[in-house]
Amino acid sequence: MKKYKDLNGVLLVDDDKFTNLIHTKAIERTGIDVKVTAVSNVTDALAFLTSHENGDLPKPGIILLDINMPGLNGWDFMKAYHELEEKFKVKVIVTMLTTSLNPDDEDRAKLDNQIVSFMHKPLRPEMFTQLVETYFEVDA
């Protein structure tokens, strides 16, 4: 298993449980040593991020975020994420992972300095590997 500095966990935020399963398997196939946590809504994602003060679970280094979800959507998550205390955001990069073909969504993502990339589903192992290699250093 390959280990990267500051990458202990990945948080998948998607309302489709099957999609979360597929994406978890894609990440596992990369051979990268990371704990994957999947949640199906924005409320659970924010609760997961803010429950890490005591170090019980690895902080996510990457958040893979769906845009279109019932109730609160990916944009609602980003609004709340910006309001979190910095201690909950350390070493986290956000990637929009979506089926949206709306160019306005990609343009909007580019305006948010916390969103580093905009990718189309489904997540494939090589997509995740490229993301990790771009933003994290190999842990020697």
CATH code: domain of residue 102: 3.40.50.2300
Give me the domain span that covers residue 122.
9-135
For residue 58, being part of any structural domain is answered with yes
Q: How many domains does the chain have?
A: 1
- pTM for this model (two decimals): 0.92
Question: Collapsing DSSP states into helix, strand and coil, what is residue 100?
Answer: coil
Q: Over 80: is that where the pLDDT of 117 sits?
A: yes
For residue 1, being part of any structural domain is answered with no
For residue 2, being part of any structural domain is answered with no
Q: Over 60: is that where the pLDDT of 96 sits?
A: yes
CB 73 within 8 A of CB 96: no
Range 30-58 average pLDDT: 86
For residue 140, being part of any structural domain is answered with no
Phi, psi (degrees; rounded to nearest 5) at 11? -110, 120
For residue 114, being part of any structural domain is answered with yes
The pLDDT of residue 91 is 73
* R_g of the chain, CA atoms, integer Å: 14
Angle at the Cα of 72 from the Cα atoms of 71 and 76, rounded to 5 degrees = 160
Range 71-98 average pLDDT: 90
For residue 3, being part of any structural domain is answered with no
Q: Over 60: is that where the pLDDT of 54 sits?
A: no
